[in-house]
Amino acid sequence: MPTYVNIFHLTQKGVENVRKGPERVSAAKRLYQAVGAKIIAFYMVMGQYDAVVISEAPDDETATKAVLALSSLGYVRSESMRAFTEDEYRKLIESLPSSYGTPQER
């Protein structure tokens, strides 16, 4: 299944209810499962973001649905990225054309 990196910022509502954070992580795992995705790992982080979630979903639409459902609760704002494993990366590189034409065609 495709892997996604989701980075989260707490909203004002999220900060005001931070003590319920562990419950919200558990609820997020259930929410992801309900839409057909899975949270692989959760990390609270220091710095520019408040949390990072590594997730899997069968496709981009399902991944987007999970993040939108979670964000719609109002505790977090999110950014998501599709992550490619090393094997996927190697296959992508191997599938690149070996020639891009003459310099004038590029």
What is the value of pTM for the model shown?
0.85
Where does the pLDDT of residue 106 fall: very low under 50, low under 70, confident under 90, or very high at 90 and above? Answer: low
Amino acid sitting at position 6: N
The domain total for the chain is 1
Among the ranges given (71-75, 82-86, 94-98), the one the predictor scored with the smallest mean pLDDT = 94-98
90: domain CATH number is 3.30.70.920
Range of the domain at 24: 3-94
Closest residue by Cα to residue 35 from 9, 60, 69, 3: 69
- The residues that bridge with 53 in the sheet, in sequence order, are 6, 42
Say which residue the tokens 């639409």 belong to. Answer: 61
Query: How many Cβ atoms from other residues are within 10 Å of residue 100's Cβ?
Result: 9
101 within some domain:
no
18 within some domain:
yes
Contact 6, 80 (CB under 8 A): yes
